[in-house]
Structure 1
Amino acid sequence: MRRFVTVMAVLATVIFLFAAHTYWKGKTSAGTKAPAVTEEAVKNVKEKEENVESKSANQDLLTLADNWPDQAKEGLEKAMEEGRAYKVAVVGSGSLGEENGGWSVMLRDALGEAFGDHVEVGIFEYDERSDEFISNSRHNEVAEFEPDFVLFEPFTLMDNGNVEVEDNHENIQTFVDAVREAVVVLQPPHPIHDATFYPAQVNDLKTFAEDEDLVYLDHWPEWPDVEDEELRSYLQEDQGAPNEKGHELWFEYLKGYFIAE
């Protein structure tokens, strides 16, 4: 009888332990079951990955703008974040060479290749003096483009012998005021051979830029000296504008500034 009771007790214990183990295993499996992957979750992950890739690409583009003024770089970054094109206006005299694929056109194409749709370039070329540029409201035409960045060649050569230096500077200031939301960078026109007063006027332009805290892109050191006959090989016969060789030289200088390597 005692043996029977012992056997039944052992059997009951085994049954209890087996039942307890089965119950616990079921509870554990239910608690660790992987949640279902929803379409919304997949979408969120993809969006996060795309945002990371976009920010990385934007940082790469900002690196290309390393030489730009800080305000211009900040403006480019903001424009990319807002999904709009950053507008660059190239403004100046006939020495821009828009009609014959000169440096302004080459710079526009290079910026498009480097920055894609993130940068939009407008070329504003006028065969005028600085006083005509203002009196004909050309400065307002540029302002209507709503540029973020302006590269301005302020008609210094066109004004040579026609407009006083002080008046040229006043006209520059009028233009800067018209595009007051933009970053304005000045550059001189091309040099000419054996000039008398023109080099001094260009030096005055550089001093004016420094006094007004404007960036001045001095490309003249890239050209042959103004007293060197070789300079004529970079210019049209009347020296009123660069020839193909001169446009290439000017473009290479500006490309090095606008697109850092």
Structure 2
Amino acid sequence: MRKFITLLAVIATFLFLVAGHFYWKEKTSAHTPVEKKEPVEAKEKAKTKEPVSVDEDLLTVSANWPKEAQDALMKAASEGRPYKIAFVGSESIGKEDGGWSVMLKDALSEAYGNGVEVGIFEYDEQSEAFITNGHAEEVAKFKPDFVLFEPFTLNDNGNVEVEDNHENIKTFISDVKGAVVVLQPPHPIHGATFYPDQVNQLKAFANAEGLDYLDHWSAWPDQSNEELRTYLQDQQSAPNDKGHEVWFEFLRDYFIAK
């Protein structure tokens, strides 16, 4: 009997201790702040930012451009602003009669949409007057990213020394600082003597200055071929419709890669 009473006392003590343990745990947990865990998905969203969507097709159609121009085009697209292109030169660029500059502007609009904005700047002057009359500043106000420049080589023929023409090009480039400048010659003419050499010197200047040079003469009939006259207006002062078409197609293939 004594042993039975002792066993009951041990069991009662054990049950009392267990009950006390659970009571204390419940009391303390009621006052302990519970850490709120942020869902994994929310954490991942906080860590990652969605990248800005840039149309990679721009790199394809602008594949022929200088790398610097391509990079600036992509940057403009990512910022949601148009990339500005300026066509600058003498009356041979055909702004007033629907020449290559107008046709190329339309083609660029179709290929790049609102991604580009084109300005056409035509001057019936020599390179000296172009600079001194402040026309370079007019182009600069357009704030172009890319300039295709025909630097009045034919207008300067017999009037402005080649070295001075090149200095005027340098002045123009400094005025449109920040823009990528690409050079091209005016149209070829039949039977010229000194003019082709001046154009060759323009090409050499471009190479020496690290400028891209678009030699569209390769798309025309040879200068010694009488057929060349059928691509030009009377007196060979500018291209006719046929000449503008040849010039346009050459430039289109450069600006809009297939």
Which bin holds the TM-score, normalised by the shorter protein?
0.7 to 0.9
Alignment of 1:1-261 (within 5 A): 54-55=53-54, 58-261=55-258
SS of 2:248's equivalent in the other structure is helix
Unpaired runs of 5+ in structure 1?
Answer: 1-47
Deviation at 1:231, TM superposition (A): 0.2
- Work out the percentage of aligned pairs sharing the same amino acid: 67
Q: Post-superposition shift, 1:216?
A: 0.3
Q: How many residues align?
A: 210
1:120 alignment partner AA: E
Per-residue deviation, residues 74-101 of structure 1 (Å, max 9, x unmatched): 0000000000000000000000111110
In 1, the alpha carbon distance for the partners of 2:113 and 2:184 equals: 25
Question: For the residues of structure 1 that align with 2:59 and 2:133, how far apart are their CA atoms?
Answer: 37
For 1:200, the aligned partner's letter is D
User: For each residue in 1:106-125, what CA deviation from the matched residue of structure 2 results, as whole angstroms up to 9, or x when unmatched?
Assistant: 00000000000010000000
Map of 1:4 onto structure 2: none
Distance, in Å, in 2 between the alignment partners of 1:177 and 1:212 is 13
Superposed displacement of residue 237, structure 1: 1.0
Q: CA deviation at 1:61?
A: 2.1
Measure, in 2, the Cα distance between the counterparts of 1:221 and 1:214: 19
Task: Report deviation, 1:211.
Answer: 0.5
Displacement after TM superposition at 1:221 (Å):
1.1
TM-score by length of 2: 0.80
Larger Cα Rg: Structure 1 or Structure 2? 2
Please give the alpha-carbon distance, in whole angstroms, between the structure 2 residues aligned to 1:61 and 1:182: 19
Query: SS at the partner of 1:206?
Result: helix
Residue in 2 that maps onto 1:18: none
Secondary structure class of the residue paired with 1:121: strand
> In the TM superposition, what is the alpha-carbon distance from 1:60 to its structure 2 partner?
1.0
Point out 4+ residue stretches in structure 1 off by more than 4 angstroms. none
Q: Which amino acid is the alignment partner of residue 129 of structure 2?
A: E
Using the alignment, how far apart are the partners of 1:174 and 1:74 within structure 2? 25
The amino acid of 1:210's aligned partner reads N
RMSD: 1.3
Give, in whole Å, the separation in 1 of the partners of 2:136 and 2:123: 11
Cα distance in 1 between the residues matched to 2:59 and 2:175: 27
Residue 91 of structure 1 aligns with an amino acid whose one-letter code is V
- Cα distance in 2, alignment partners of residues 209 and 184 from structure 1: 10
Q: Distance in 2 between matches of 1:242 and 1:184?
A: 23
